[in-house]
Structure 1
């Protein structure tokens, strides 16, 4: 029995060593060698240099902000990121908040309010309307809590507008709308998002983060929205900036998947090179 036990363990050890050599050494070396031979740029991180210094990767987005976190006006801005403090490859991921996340809490703002705030900020930066459906004029989610939850409304609260804010709508089904009182629990009420009649000028990718939080691209629509500001700040003809957008636009994957996109880092570096 002991000899059998020894033979089994020796065989297991041999299998471990062979598989470790194959999958842990030989296969990675083979893949790395093929990648370095055929796609050296991509294999080394698709790094982008400026004046001989690495300034980023064409595969990972990065902010173009000043020390205070404010957008630098002469640069195209990327889409928002929820990866760590923003575009952190070690914390890649999304907020995991969905379309039903519309009510703010003391601990955090809802996804809807985050979108509304971003839209308002982009509108102010670009000199356009930041209004969009389900958002109040002051940039929070346009959401009511109605009481009772079932039946004829007797009370309505603009739950994301804390007093003394003025509710975005005066009345709901004949009931005066109140501002939200700090510390009051509105969980028992029926949640009623109010669409309103606003039409969004700011594109969706300007107000929502990607699933990875690392997306280096923006939509052509978002790039076009920013073009007048960038042209004005740099003293360039608008037509020239739009031509650069076209040059840095990548078409749909395989010709039919997704939408055309613009690489923000590469576009900004081209602008810096003049």
Structure 2
């Protein structure tokens, strides 16, 4: 049987509070994503979904739990009793983990170097990870730009000369440059106009089909999640309260919190009073 692209088991993360005590951001969260699959992680602000995304890409160290990519455990800090690594080996290990899982953030402008053109940005990523040199790097950059729908003008432009949608396409190209197994998208279309959102979602669907990369799509937008994912995990207060095929979770939710999320989205015949009632009932549970 083929290994899942990503297996997450028992993730936990808590933070110290200024006045003492701790708050739990992620509490025993587990899920898996098959190669070429797509998982949506949804929930309100403070549900822990972004913390999960940051743990996946080593921006946050978990207190407990494991992360496995294609059968290889990659959880930071787990060395199996081996001797500590030196600085050079630690850097190589960190880059190796980065090549397995890449992330695209909501605002690409803050993650792109304003001094570099799109081509220079991609060349820097390839050089950092020791991927391609000389003409091979030039050819790979042209391939990446074409893959995300950017032309010669955009390739020669710096971030300030690109539109929001073009900057997000560049951020996706940079993430794909190292050929990751998993691509995490943290509210990656939330800041874009609806028409541009649709273009980026179509692009991601094409990339997923062409490359077989697994997607983890973190979002508060249930319409976006319905469009792009196969499965959905619903988080509340750091815990996973419901998971399953996206159509089932969003059409016939089993958990009261999922029903509350769905009732909070305006639609034809929407009754805000129903949302208030569901929230009150949930508070009593």
Higher strand share: 2
Asked whether the two chains share a fold, i.e. TM above 0.5, the reply is no
Tell me the TM-score normalized by structure 2: 0.26
Of structures 1 and 2, the one scoring higher in RCO (CA 8 A, sep 6+) is 2
Higher helix share: 2
Tell me the TM-score normalized by structure 1: 0.27
